[in-house]
Structure 1
Amino acid sequence: MNTDRWRPLALSLKAALVALLALALLFPHWDRFADKAMGARAVAYPLAVMTVWAVWALRGRRGAYPWDVDALLTAPFVIDVAGNAADLYDTIGWFDDACHYGNWFLLAAAAGLALRRWSSFPPAAVALSCAGAGAITAIVWEFFEYGVFILDTPESVTIYRDTIGDLMLGLSGATTAGVLLAVRNRRRSGRAA
């Protein structure tokens, strides 16, 4: 499947990520970046967005490069850093929750598209795999947040509730993506028959 139409978006997202991370590293004292582990993000996020390329290369570069999967995987990292740069996490109460739902939707959609393209999983298995991948990444993310933010604060009860809510929203977003991909895949299979 040729996904070249996604290439400009995927490359623009990567450029935006680099620019936003550079901004965070240049101005770490700004409240929007202070105590937000921007140094760790500046290392981890570029590595994470190279995952699609790494998997594609390990698979022997078979087929066209999956620019759609690449863009969907990169977008959540851009949204996260852009949200910090625009100070949205500290000024809009629901922004963090929207990110946990929406970003895990995007991450699971990337995983689901890759599975649809590179495996013979039936639609239900794609849906469950998306939910599972979303749950795993949401849990890993919360472990990261716990280590960076929670161990150093007296607000542990409030943050615990936030963590549980974040896990619920991440899993819900991933499950929604999986179900939508499964339904779309089932409809496609029905048309092909």
Structure 2
Amino acid sequence: MTVTTVPATRTNWLRYAALAAKVLLFALLLSALIWPDLSGIKGKASTARLVVYPIGAMALPLWWWAYGRTRSKLHSTFPWPADLLMTLPWLIDLIGNRLNLFDTVDWWDDAMHFILWGFLTAGVLLAFAPRGLSRGLTAFVALGFGATAAVVWELGEYVAFVRNSPELQTAYTDTLGDLALGTMGALLAGLILYQLRRSPSTSNV
């Protein structure tokens, strides 16, 4: 199996971007602990987010430290592009909540379910899916991960805060829409990644 390599110059800026995203994410999480009323996540499963978001952002580095650096057949060095894509959803969600965009912009929540699930799925595929997958298999893997992650997220939201909030009245319709958008975002991410991997100009993706 071919090991993925990325040109040094691109690796550098991706590394800096991924690290900057993590620093900003943890700064926002820390500020939410210190000033919970200003965090934008108070009353929105803030405790669960403070636990889950760091785990989500650190999942790939922890896997690499424990397993990937010695046994990975896909990457010769740490996959910074995948790490950035797997960090951005947690960071963007926190920023959106801090700026109150989920409650003040009608289309923001729908856009985030579509876009952020695309980022997360693309990152997971880059990190763990072999380059040689066909378009059909890439789509199935993207759908499998994206749909499963979307269901887990919606279940978590329901248990953590929706069942005891005014949102319960509209939760069914909202959940169906979120699941559909997240799944479509994941599928689109898989198809885009497949095309990028086939393109000579992005052969190292």
| TM-score, normalised relative to structure 1 | 0.89
Which whole-Å CA distance do the structure 2 matches of 1:33 and 1:154 have between them? Answer: 16
2:23 is the counterpart of 1:15: yes
Matched, 1:56 2:64: yes
Counterpart in the other structure of 2:120 = 107
Alignment partner of 1:47 is 2:55:
yes
- After superposition, the C-alpha distances for 1:128-170 in whole angstroms (9 at most, x for unaligned) are 2112111111110000111122211354341111111000000
Deviation string for 1:167-190 (max 9, x for gaps)? Answer: 0000010010011112233444xx
The question of 1:138 aligning with 2:150 is answered: yes
Could you say what secondary structure the match of 1:29 adopts? Answer: helix
- Show CA shifts across 1:99-155 (max 9, x none): 100000101111222245x46433321222112111111110000111122211354
Q: Could you list the runs of 5+ residues in structure 1 that have no partner in the other structure?
A: none
Q: Following the alignment from structure 1 to structure 2, what is the Cα–Cα distance between the partners of residues 59 and 30?
A: 38
- CA spacing shift, 1:150–1:36, aligned 2, 3 Å: closer
Deviates more, 1:20-29 or 1:81-90: 20-29
Deviations 1:27-75 (A, max 9, x none): 2234823201222211111111111113323134451110000000000
Q: Give the Cα–Cα distance (whole angstroms) in 2 for the partners of residues 183 and 34 of structure 1.
A: 41
User: Match for 1:70 among 73, 76, 83?
Assistant: 83
Of 136, 140, 160 in structure 2, the residue corresponding to residue 124 of structure 1 is 136
**Alpha carbons of 1:9 and 1:81: their partners in 2 closer, same or farther (altered >3 Å)?**
same
Q: 1:155 to 1:104 in 2, by over 3 A?
A: closer
**Alignment partners' CA distance in 2, 1:167 and 1:15:** 29
Distance 1:154 1:147 in 2: 14
Distance change >3 Å, CA 138–CA 21, structure 1 → 2: same
Q: Verify the 8 A CA contact 1:32 1:90 in the aligned structure 2.
A: no
Q: Give 1:87's aligned residue.
A: 100
Report the Cα distance in structure 1 between the residues aligned to 2:31 and 2:149, rounded to whole angstroms. Answer: 26
Point out where structure 2 has 5 or more consecutive residues left out of the alignment.
Answer: none
What is the TM-score when the length of structure 2 is the normalising length? 0.84
Tell me the amino acid that sits aligned with residue 82 of structure 2: V
